[in-house]
Amino acid sequence: MGTGEGAVRLRPPRNAPARQAAGWWRARWLLLTAAPVAVLGVLGALITPARFWLLLPAAVLAAVGLLCAALLPVWWFRTHRWEVTGDAVYVRTGVFLRKWRIAPMSRIQTVDTVRGPLEQLFGLATVTVTTASAKGAVRIAGLAHETAAELAGQLTRLTRDTPGDAT
């Protein structure tokens, strides 16, 4: 990147996920934690000689899971950002390891909107922008489903109007 007239200045993307994204992340974390805690709890209740060695990890895992479900979604909400300009799609994710993804409009091949069951429950969607890149698709998760639909339409129009061959 130069300092000339056409230089791009890297800055944080402007848009945050939808407010309900924190609840969605929290629910995902709790569901992920609940399964092994339940298995360990049931086994601890059924296997008397090993009860302590099964219930102790279940309790520790439950405590860690609750702590992570309380703190991580708030942290993720503060760090995840996205933005679309006339030139590119910008996405920044990550807490400890920050990951910036920039997809130039001329490289976009497909735009998909996905709403899993839990996302639907929270009124959210994920927009996936597939590019001609070995790094894979750019995902913008935690969007209100109306925003995701508008974004998919906007990206489709911008890509159609952008010269280039998407390769």
Tens-place pLDDT, residues 77-117:
999 999 999 889 999 998 788 899 988 988 899 999 999 99
* pLDDT band (50, 70, 90) for residue 164: low
pTM: 0.83
* pLDDT band (50, 70, 90) for residue 6: low
More confident of the two residues 12 and 22: 22
Q: How far is CA 19 from CA 30, 64, 123, 134, 162, in A?
A: 18, 24, 10, 32, 32
Q: What percent of the chain has pLDDT over 70?
A: 92
Is pLDDT above 80 for 157? Answer: yes
